[in-house]
Structure 1
Amino acid sequence: MSQVSTRDTSQQDLDRLATLAEDTIRRARAAGATQAEVSASVDVGLNVNVRLGEVETVEHTRDRGFSLTVFFGQRKGSASTADLNPDSIQATIDQACAIARFTEDDPAAGLADADRMATAFPDLDLWHPWDVDVETAIALGIEVEDGGRAIPGITNSDGSSVSAGQSLSVYANSHGFLGRESGTRHSLSVALIAGDDEGMQRDYWYDSVRDARKFMDAAAIGRKAAERTLSRMDARRLSTRQAPVLFAPEVARSLVGHLLGAVSGGSLYRRSSFLLDHVGKQVLPSWMRIDEKPLIPGGFGSSVFDAEGVATVDSPLIVDGVLSRYILGSYSARKLGLQSTGNAGGVHNLIVANGGDDFAAMLKKLGTGLLVTEVMGQGVSIITGDYSRGASGFWVENGEIAYPVEEITIAANLRDMYANLVAVGADVDHRSHILTGSWLVENMTIAGE
């Protein structure tokens, strides 16, 4: 199928979803709903897994989702289905209305305010369907894996994966808003093994893009995975100590995620956040800035509107280390007596400002301490800020990697970790909607032997 016909087909699918969404809202209103909203989506994909040069799985996917929320005054009911035939849609309407009729009034319930709906819909360059057939995907998976297996010391493979995905979605509500979105996301990955029964290590690497023409070289992904795997050989444990910790970019991203969790509406109106009532207060060093930029062409988090149809806009989250605002949809905003920040469904393209140091310079700043390349476990409390996670990585001495380490735990409180942030690197990981480099934290407890 050519890209032109793929585009035509996607437009037809969006038209069908839009017509169905608008019709469903009309029928829900006729059934007595004072307000209604519909989210509908179609996701299409190809996933191929290869191991040791042989095909393990080939999976074609076509998933559909359809959810309806109705409001009878301030009583809310929701229902969903994956079957878009008329009987299933009618049953979904009936179920949502029945739930709403028997729930309690909620003063915060209702659609987002009508005057906040998006009215401009620029092309954000998110749609790049990858016309890859199964045979080509298999060959690419083998190339990725062979790139790593060719490196001396790699003894086995957990396999490579090739994924091509397209997502189409529509959001409509009884304000008359109708928004359409289409996006693609494709990935290549491989996991490799080094060693033998006396001691083995495993690691991986991947690339993720909207446009398959922007993949890094397939064999280079395999070589990167091999390099990471071999670098973990002969890993040691550390004695318990206090030391500075450098979080690699792909791990530092999770520290941003914990910050978002602590300043998101759900945590705040439940009063279950260690950053409760912190708008206008210092939470990070004075040199720190984080901006949300939802309209970046091709960005993984780019969107013209949020999950409620509210228009997205560029907006700072952290300025000079001070928390500028919370992360709110309309419901949590009303619970807090505030306004939606256009973040129903999450944030869009967070840009963490950095000081310009590349990874080598960040190691020099670390001096002697721990480089963390992987964290494990769920030992993070958004309520108290307590942070304790299993980790592996490398011990660094005088700005140079000395040896790999494993089976350790790193611990502190997020409030202290944010306050004691020394630097953010320019080694930005672009495979996410959270764009950050490595983070250097002044001091943490490292629990080992």
Structure 2
Amino acid sequence: MSGHRISTEHPARLQTLAESLVAAARKAGAEQADALATGGQSISIDVRNGALEQADRAEGIEIGLRVLIGGRQACVSASDHSDDSIAEMAARAVAMAREAPVDDHLGLADPDRLAVSRDAGGLQIADDRPDPAPETLQDLALRAEEAAREQPGISQVESANASFSRRHLWLAASNGFSGGYGRSTHVVSAVAITGEGLGMERDYAAEARAWAEDLPQPEEIGRLAAERTLARAGSRKPPTGAFPILYDRRVSSSLIGHLLAAVNGSAVARGASWLRRALGEPVLPDGMNLIEDPLRPRYPSSRPFDAEGLATARRKIVADGVLQGWTLDLATGRKLGMDSTASAARGLASAPSPTNSNVILTPGPAHYDDLLADMDTGLVVTSMLGASINGTTGDYSRGAAGFWVQNGRIAYPVNECTIAGNLRDMLRNMRAADDALPWRAAEVPSLLVGGMTVAGA
């Protein structure tokens, strides 16, 4: 099967569907309505032991509609996009909205606030070359697998995958907005295993890009998966006590994710955020910024406008350590008496809610090895599982694995431990390395946090 691109008629079809949904909703009695139509295709190739193991392909169009009547709203979705289905969706959504509770903060954007740009323009989030053929993806996966398997000590490669997807969306609303754009994603990954039985350890490597030419070579991904796996051999529990913890750049974005959740307008409006009274106060170390930039070319979550048709823009969430503002959509902004930050996202069957696109944390001056040396004794975390986070107090507890550090150097791998602390204290007193990786939706370097509790042996 040769490579090909989705027809240029596809976006036009999505536009027609989205605008037809809005028209049908107004005809059925909706005061306001917005609709989302998405379509595209994906292909995923898995290999094992040098041969094709599984190939998946998906293609289709789905539609979603939101209607608003007197402060009430309802959302419906369907994969059937016939004229009859659109009329039925509109009627059902209007009937549901009339029974929904009233929320006076709901409503579309004023027309004069809508984004001028109605496409992705120069964001370059859709690869303009032909889609890769299945044979091309299989070759990438095989090369990643072979590179992992040839490393001494690797007992098997659990999986190697290469995949590609191209998606288009179109948003239309009764306030006059109508716009859409496409997005492509190329992925290569590998999972390697060392040891057997109870002594088995596994780890992985994966990279994703909007453009194929920005991906690392598959051999690099395979070797990294093997190196990470081999480093895990002989893992044991660490000691229990209070120690500094270095969040490796593989997982450090999770810490910033907790901060982003706490400044999300939905949590703040509910009073369910441990930062609900922290606006204008220090939340990160002095000199540290947390920036959101939805307009970074080729980045994974870049977008020209949000799910309510507002133009996205670069902004500082934290400046010089001080919290500057919340992440808001229209409804949460109105509840808090503030303007939307053009942060709305939505699913086909869900109402808009605030989210973030491309966040960047200020790197520090220190190298990774410098932070290790400064730790003296402590834990490097490279993977995490499970979480107990109190959204109101910021109390934090998570399962973790990684490496034990003694005398400022990695001594041995560890697993089956729990780390705990309070997010307000952790984030305010952390130190950043200079090793953040590009191309991530959250560009966050390794972070050293002192005085946390480790529960191990």
TM-score category (smaller protein): over 0.9
Q: 1:359 aligns with which of 365, 368, 378?
A: 368
Give the structure 1 partner of residue 159 of structure 2: 159
State the secondary structure of the residue aligned to 1:370: strand
Residues in 2 aligned to 1:2 and 1:308: alpha-carbon distance in whole angstroms: 38
Are residue 146 (structure 1) and residue 146 (structure 2) matched?
yes
Following superposition, the deviation at residue 76 of structure 1 comes to 1.3
Judge conservation of contact 1:130–1:211 (CA < 8 Å) in 2. no
Report the more deviating stretch, 337-346 or 225-234. 337-346
Give the structure 2 partner of residue 201 of structure 1: 201
Q: 2:357 aligns with which of 348, 351, 372?
A: 348
Following superposition, the deviation at residue 361 of structure 1 comes to 3.0
- The number of residue pairs the alignment matches comes to 445
Amino acid at match of 1:6: R
TM-score, length basis structure 2:
0.94
Identity of aligned residues (%): 38
Residues in 2 aligned to 1:31 and 1:89: alpha-carbon distance in whole angstroms: 11
Give the structure 2 partner of residue 327 of structure 1: 327
Following superposition, the deviation at residue 250 of structure 1 comes to 2.0
Give the structure 2 partner of residue 81 of structure 1: 78
State the secondary structure of the residue aligned to 1:60: strand
Give the structure 2 partner of residue 371 of structure 1: 380
State the secondary structure of the residue aligned to 1:379: strand
Report the more deviating stretch, 429-438 or 144-153. 429-438
Give the structure 1 partner of residue 402 of structure 2: 393
Are residue 25 (structure 1) and residue 26 (structure 2) matched?
no
Judge conservation of contact 1:40–1:171 (CA < 8 Å) in 2. yes
Residues in 1 aligned to 2:33 and 2:69: alpha-carbon distance in whole angstroms: 9
Following superposition, the deviation at residue 277 of structure 1 comes to 2.2
CA deviation profile, 1:110-141 (whole Å, cap 9, x unmatched): 11333321103532111115632222222221
Amino acid at match of 2:453: T
Amino acid at match of 1:348: S
Q: 2:432 aligns with which of 424, 438, 448?
A: 424
TM-score, length basis structure 1:
0.95
Q: 2:104 aligns with which of 102, 107, 114?
A: 107
Judge conservation of contact 2:368–2:433 (CA < 8 Å) in 1. yes
Following superposition, the deviation at residue 402 of structure 1 comes to 1.3
State the secondary structure of the residue aligned to 1:249: coil
Please list every run of 5 or more consecutive structure 1 residues that lacks an aligned counterpart in the other structure. none
Give the structure 1 partner of residue 349 of structure 2: none
Give the structure 2 partner of residue 258 of structure 1: 258
Are residue 237 (structure 1) and residue 237 (structure 2) matched?
yes
Residues in 1 aligned to 2:298 and 2:101: alpha-carbon distance in whole angstroms: 42
Are residue 127 (structure 1) and residue 126 (structure 2) matched?
yes
RMSD of aligned residue pairs (Cα, Å): 1.6
Following superposition, the deviation at residue 2 of structure 1 comes to 8.3
Amino acid at match of 1:365: D
Give the structure 1 partner of residue 69 of structure 2: 72
Report the more deviating stretch, 39-48 or 98-107. 98-107
Judge conservation of contact 1:144–1:222 (CA < 8 Å) in 2. yes
Residues in 2 aligned to 1:179 and 1:361: alpha-carbon distance in whole angstroms: 48
Judge conservation of contact 2:292–2:359 (CA < 8 Å) in 1. yes
Give the structure 2 partner of residue 46 of structure 1: 43
Residues in 2 aligned to 1:233 and 1:139: alpha-carbon distance in whole angstroms: 29
CA shift in 2, pair 1:236/1:2, >3 Å: closer
CA shift in 2, pair 1:66/1:251, >3 Å: same
State the secondary structure of the residue aligned to 1:18: helix
Following superposition, the deviation at residue 378 of structure 1 comes to 2.1
Amino acid at match of 1:266: S
Give the structure 2 partner of residue 178 of structure 1: 178
Residues in 2 aligned to 1:198 and 1:376: alpha-carbon distance in whole angstroms: 19
Residues in 1 aligned to 2:371 and 2:9: alpha-carbon distance in whole angstroms: 50
Following superposition, the deviation at residue 172 of structure 1 comes to 1.0
Following superposition, the deviation at residue 198 of structure 1 comes to 5.4
Amino acid at match of 2:103: D
CA shift in 2, pair 1:197/1:76, >3 Å: closer
Judge conservation of contact 1:130–1:164 (CA < 8 Å) in 2. no
Judge conservation of contact 1:408–1:446 (CA < 8 Å) in 2. yes
State the secondary structure of the residue aligned to 1:402: strand
Residues in 1 aligned to 2:372 and 2:360: alpha-carbon distance in whole angstroms: 22
Q: 1:380 aligns with which of 389, 393, 397?
A: 389
Are residue 37 (structure 1) and residue 46 (structure 2) matched?
no
Amino acid at match of 2:282: Q
Residues in 2 aligned to 1:151 and 1:101: alpha-carbon distance in whole angstroms: 63
Give the structure 1 partner of residue 350 of structure 2: none
State the secondary structure of the residue aligned to 2:61: strand
Give the structure 2 partner of residue 12 of structure 1: 9
Amino acid at match of 1:270: R
Following superposition, the deviation at residue 394 of structure 1 comes to 0.6
Residues in 1 aligned to 2:388 and 2:197: alpha-carbon distance in whole angstroms: 31
Judge conservation of contact 2:235–2:414 (CA < 8 Å) in 1. yes
Following superposition, the deviation at residue 348 of structure 1 comes to 1.5
Give the structure 1 partner of residue 351 of structure 2: none
CA deviation profile, 1:412-439 (whole Å, cap 9, x unmatched): 0111111221x21221133421111111
Amino acid at match of 1:436: V
State the secondary structure of the residue aligned to 2:56: strand
Amino acid at match of 1:381: N
Residues in 2 aligned to 1:349 and 1:90: alpha-carbon distance in whole angstroms: 37
Give the structure 1 partner of residue 302 of structure 2: 302
State the secondary structure of the residue aligned to 1:377: strand
Judge conservation of contact 1:285–1:321 (CA < 8 Å) in 2. yes
Judge conservation of contact 1:420–1:443 (CA < 8 Å) in 2. no
Give the structure 1 partner of residue 169 of structure 2: 169
State the secondary structure of the residue aligned to 1:415: helix
Judge conservation of contact 2:243–2:378 (CA < 8 Å) in 1. yes
State the secondary structure of the residue aligned to 1:384: coil
Give the structure 2 partner of residue 97 of structure 1: 94
1:397-412 correspondence runs (5 A): 397-412=406-421
Give the structure 2 partner of residue 338 of structure 1: 338
Judge conservation of contact 2:109–2:175 (CA < 8 Å) in 1. no
Following superposition, the deviation at residue 337 of structure 1 comes to 1.9
Judge conservation of contact 1:167–1:183 (CA < 8 Å) in 2. yes
Residues in 2 aligned to 1:431 and 1:16: alpha-carbon distance in whole angstroms: 31
Following superposition, the deviation at residue 404 of structure 1 comes to 0.7
Judge conservation of contact 1:130–1:212 (CA < 8 Å) in 2. no
Q: 2:115 aligns with which of 118, 126, 141?
A: 118
Following superposition, the deviation at residue 149 of structure 1 comes to 0.5
Residues in 2 aligned to 1:92 and 1:213: alpha-carbon distance in whole angstroms: 42
